[in-house]
Structure 1
Amino acid sequence: MIEETSVTLPVGIRGGIELPASIEHIELKTSDGLTLVGELATPIGRTPVATLVTLHPLPTAGGFMDSHILRKAANRLPAMADLAVLRFNTRGTSSPRGTSGGDFGEGITERADVAAAMAFVAERQLPNPWLVGWSFGTELALKYGLEHPIRGAILLSPPLHRTTKAELAAWAGNERQLVAVIPEFDDYLRPDAARLRFASVPSLRFVAVEGGKHLWVGENLTRRVLSEIVATVNPAALPLPIEWTDGLRDPS
């Protein structure tokens, strides 16, 4: 008699794959009376090592909480790196999750949005929060991050359009770590120019990504960005796996 066994074949980690995580739809309340929609992804059955508070690209140019790097961070990093990932739409921004109240504030009134996210982190006692901004989101991280008890900020494709010299220099000599991930072929700020702009923060960890572009399109660049995030907040989880055998998230 031949005994049949069940074998789970490995699945390549790429594209929109959704690894196991606990998913919660959340709402954030701002000090000026708005409701922001969002989602919290956490490891299943484990306490997260750290928390990523993500800040999405420019909403007037198509940025939202589902912008692909942030969505893939939420889909993969709770399982692969024991991280909690908080995503939300800033004011006036829409996604399949819904539309946040208010109107786009040019990075000014969004100060209250960052504060609402950090208040949620404190209320839930989520550990070791890091801001992870992408493009416009890096402006919010740089302008308002130092107002909150964060471990640091990770900047993906920072344009430095809205951040003043004084706001940037304020990060110098601060115990909170600043990491800038700069694509070689960025549309707004390439590595050579970025080194000059960030010279006022000598403690900055500067990562130039060969072949990278502002939108980080392609699995190789996605993996590189996620690896740089994990290298900062939980390096023990590196290298990130390229296959998964423990099942996938039920999309229902």
Structure 2
Amino acid sequence: MDISDYLRFSDPRLVEKLRQNTEVVGYEGGAPSTAGYSGEASLDASLLQTKPLKKRKSWLPSGLHAFSRSKNECVREYFRKGNYKGKCTPLFDGRVVIGPQRLAVSLSMLVLLLMSLKMALHICPRLVDSVEELGGAVHVAMFFTDLLDYFLLPLSWIFFFLTAFSDPGIIPRSKPEDHPEEAIAEIRPQQLDPRTGMPRPRYLLLNGVAVKQKWCRTCRIYRPPRSHHCSVCDDCVTRFDHHCAVLGTCVGLGNYRYFLCLIVTLG
């Protein structure tokens, strides 16, 4: 199986590296074997995926799932056609994503606005007055401190909007007509859990390390490694870090760098 069918990173070099070092080694019901398809007792060989899934015409690259940021065409098509089923509000083909907790982000914007007004109207003029009364090295230090405050203030606003209204890394859901679990059942019926009827977790051999990949019942996809389904946003998010109640959205692959810059500028 081609790793790019279910893992689509922003760095093409990483995609190529994963393509060369990743394979499906088994499904839950037998422990994963880091030796691939050698058939040790620790691996249930009957659960190995022996042939590729059927290609389906969809916004998804395959019948399982896509992994990408909104700049990828398949994700833009997912948002553009109105097939999005989560609780967020995507705009401009997913280039802008508003989280479900709009009251929280509105209150955060209000607090940041009050902090900005207080700094612009009271703190900064007071610093300027104190600088005029001082001299020497203290004068220079206070000047650069005042200049840094004015510089970080607009940056905090920029990173706030980038974090709160960027796509955190939402993974497109599978179409109802795709039925990826049925496609798996056509290959190996043993891959379905008899208790739930859903596909069992499977193991990927990623750079020589066995990684467990779970099936998401809501999105009907195999979640990529380090991803998580957020119950607040009702979406699977790539490289999910946490759901930020202050910003009203998730922090993931798409906005994690902006979030770190926001913390630094506000600090």
> Do the structures match in fold with TM over 0.5?
no
TM-score after normalising by structure 2: 0.21
User: Who wins on radius of gyration, i.e. which is larger?
Assistant: 2
Could you say which structure has the greater relative contact order, defined with CA pairs below 8 angstroms and 6 or more residues apart?
Answer: 2
Q: Which has the higher strand share?
A: 1
| Higher helix content, 1 or 2 | 2
TM-score w.r.t. the length of structure 1 is: 0.22
